Amino acid sequence: MIRKIIHLDLDAFFCSVEELLDPSLKGKAFAVGGSPSGRGVITSASYAARMRGVRSAMPTREALNILPDLVLVRSGFHHYSEYSNKVMSILRNTSPIVEQVSIDEAFLDVSDMPQPIGSIAIDLQKRVCQETGLPCSLGCATSRLVAKIANDFGKKQVKTGRSPQKITIVEPGKEEEFLAPLDIQALWGVGPKTAAHLRQRGITTIGNLAALSDADLKNYFGQHGESMRRRAKGIDNSPIYSESGDPKSVSNEMTFHDDQDDKEGLIKILHSLSEKVGFRLRKAELAGSVVQIKIRYSDFSTYTRQTSMKECTNLDQEIFNEAQNLFIKHWQSGRPVRLLGVGVTNLDKPHRQLSLWGNDESKKEDLTKAVDDLRDRFGKDIIKRADTLKTKKQS
């Protein structure tokens, strides 16, 4: 059976939500982002702003230098989360096999549906727009690799200053032909540094890479050479993972707007995620003896690793200690990370052995309870550990 895979991406998602909340923004050059003072950055730019040179991840000061009349809107992440959940619900009503890869992006496997993939995509785009008011673009192909690249390609062809709302379809058997003329950096696994290195050697397109000899592939990509050739030819059998959630576990994840490769920054995020998991466990009066981490890299390859403890815990620091050890052991150093997650499973009611020689555990639990009480009264961000504060790469 030929697979039918759809990649859906909400167009300028944060800005689109802000336009729904404030219709006066529609058509204007505006951006969601931080303060122009300090290290504020643009989180999302409207298409009108993009047409005039403003880009996401650009320092806010730089954006205002380019476009002095740029309208800045503060982030409303609770609204973004609410709209994202609405969209994902629509997708899961369309197919049971949905993998959400970020707040505004997901893959669907619709292979079991009898309709042509183009018809499914058109109906899905209409439903999302009618039920949420949000514009979206879709890429359709026989694999997640080609569907994602097709969507990115299709969106870039629209240069009107408005939401693309594109549907781009790559027919079965046409994958290599579609990919061949595209810029080498469009291929998963080819970052800016690798792309620059390849261009110096005359390898500027995906087709150029697909035609490389075995020796050259090994020279450029080492043990990953053959897998890179397969990608360049559009061969990708990786499944779509449906993440419906495990009621026997508690987890938190963070998807990055820009891929992260800074070890110190990733560990601080891991600590913050561990605190959130611990807080949720304590509110549910649960503890667990297995700590898991999840790492999704920039090419969407995803790995989970876990470790078992002698006793159940719901204390932030204990969860973090195990998560950090797993991360240091398994992270492929320097490889950009798109998503990071922490989870605790094998859940039970909290219980601890009494110590004959001291009450350190009791003190930890009392301190944790005091922090939880503060967060309940004044919000989750009222108190933070110093080592979880944002790094210079986060704003």
Active site residues: 105
Return d(Cα 49, Cα 31) in angstroms, integer.
7
Q: Are strands 302-313 and 287-297 parallel, antiparallel or unpaired?
A: antiparallel
Q: Which residues pair with 85 in a beta bridge?
A: none
Residues 55, 32 contacting (CB under 8 angstroms): no
Return d(Cα 97, Cα 90) in angstroms, integer.
12
Order of all β-strands in the sheet with 98-102: 98-102, 105-109, 5-10, 136-141, 167-169
Both tokens of 44, joined, read 């999302």
Return d(Cα 168, Cα 179) in angstroms, integer.
13
Residue found under tokens 């740029």:
70
Q: What are phi and psi of 45, to 5 degrees?
A: -120, 140
Return d(Cα 52, Cα 63) in angstroms, integer.
10
Return d(Cα 19, Cα 28) in angstroms, integer.
10
Provide the 3-class DSSP secondary structure of residue 291: strand
Return d(Cα 162, Cα 160) in angstroms, integer.
5
Both tokens of 188, joined, read 């998963």
Q: Which residues pair with 9 in a beta bridge?
A: 105, 137
